């Protein structure tokens, strides 16, 4: 397991802060309040452990198949429904939404190989990620992928009540590989997929997904 580069600044700041707290508590508490010193030491190491765990990138063997759309993130499927697309597409699409808890790996992955034909950041609210309106009203970053066969898939990285920083590595004209990194969302959030209605959906509500591996749909 490695740590994601998006965590470098957060991990460095947290490490320095916790070292300072423990250095001060050692001078003030060690001799006369040893139990409190130990408690503070345990708490700071626990919090640092949580931060390191959040930015983890486990080793994976990714799915590589031009006939399928893979999960753009780890999480739980919370929405599967046909909707009128609100961005880019003029027609109806199947929306598949995956909720990411703070315990999930938060790197995001390209669901298909192809060219980025649309890349747009939207300012917005910070409703809880499972709120129905979060897809259209929250801060979000949209990508549209066009495969060699001309099929298009739209993804939305959506900020939640805790997630207030979305990172996206794509740009219009960029050629990307399936399961390559799309970006990163800090803390709880979700990613929506908008898939052609003709696709065969391979997941159901409540399913757990693994980014870059789980098959969401087949062309």
Q: What is the pLDDT of residue 186?
A: 79
Q: In this structure, how many other beta carbons lie within 10 angstroms of the beta carbon of residue 155?
A: 28
Distances (CA, A) of 208 to 67, 74, 100, 106: 21, 7, 10, 14
- Tell me what pLDDT residue 135 has: 67
Return mean pLDDT, the chain: 90
Q: To which residue do tokens 């931060």 refer?
A: 51
Whether 48 and 114 share a structural domain:
no
Which residues are registered as beta bridge partners of 57? Answer: 2
Q: Are residues 129 and 212 in the same domain?
A: yes
The residue segments making up the domain with residue 160 are 68-218
Q: 202, 70 in Cβ contact below 8 A?
A: no
Distances from the Cα of 45 to the Cα of 11, 24, 176, angstroms = 12, 15, 38
Domain total for the chain?
2
Cα–Cα distance between 92 and 108 in angstroms, integer?
25
Closest by Cα among 85, 206, 209 to 135: 85
* pLDDT per residue as tens digits for the range 60-117: 999 999 999 999 999 999 999 999 998 999 999 999 999 998 888 889 999 999 999 9
Of 138 and 84, the one with more pLDDT? 84
Q: Worst-scoring range by mean pLDDT, 78-82, 96-100, 183-187, 199-203?
A: 183-187
**Per-residue model confidence (pLDDT) at position 164:** 64
Residue 63, in any domain of the structure: no
Same domain? For 123 and 159 the reply is yes
Could you tell me if 93 and 24 lie in one domain? no
Based on the domain organization, do 137 and 52 belong to the same domain? no
- What is the per-residue pLDDT for 115? 98
Task: State residue 162's pLDDT score.
Answer: 62
Give catalytic residue positions: 189
Specify whether the CB–CB gap between 45 and 21 falls below 8 A. no
What is the model's pLDDT at position 101? 87
Higher pLDDT, 126 or 96: 96
Residues 190, 98 share a domain? yes
């Amino acid at each position: 397991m490695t740590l994601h580069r998006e965590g470098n600044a957060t991990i460095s700041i947290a490490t320095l802060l916790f070292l300072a707290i423990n250095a001060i508590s050692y001078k003030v508490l060690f001799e006369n309040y040893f139990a409190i010193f130990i408690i503070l030491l345990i708490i700071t190491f626990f919090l640092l452990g949580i931060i390191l765990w959040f930015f983890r990138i486990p080793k994976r063997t990714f799915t590589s198949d031009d006939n399928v759309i893979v999960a753009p993130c780890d999480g739980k499927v919370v929405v599967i429904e046909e909707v009128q697309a609100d961005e880019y597409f003029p027609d109806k699409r199947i929306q598949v939404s995956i909720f990411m808890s703070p315990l999930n790996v938060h790197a995001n992955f390209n669901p298909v190989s192809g060219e980025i034909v649309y890349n747009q950041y939207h300012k917005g609210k910070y409703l809880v990620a499972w709120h129905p309106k979060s897809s259209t009203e929250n801060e979000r970053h949209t990508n549209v992928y066009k495969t060699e066969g001309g099929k298009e898939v739209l993804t939305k990285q959506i900020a939640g009540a805790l997630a207030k920083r979305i990172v996206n590595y794509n740009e219009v004209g960029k050629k990307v590989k399936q399961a390559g990194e799309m970006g990163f969302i800090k803390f709880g959030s979700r990613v929506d997929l908008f898939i052609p209605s003709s696709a065969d959906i391979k997941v159901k509500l409540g399913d757990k997904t693994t980014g870059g591996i789980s098959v969401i749909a087949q062309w």
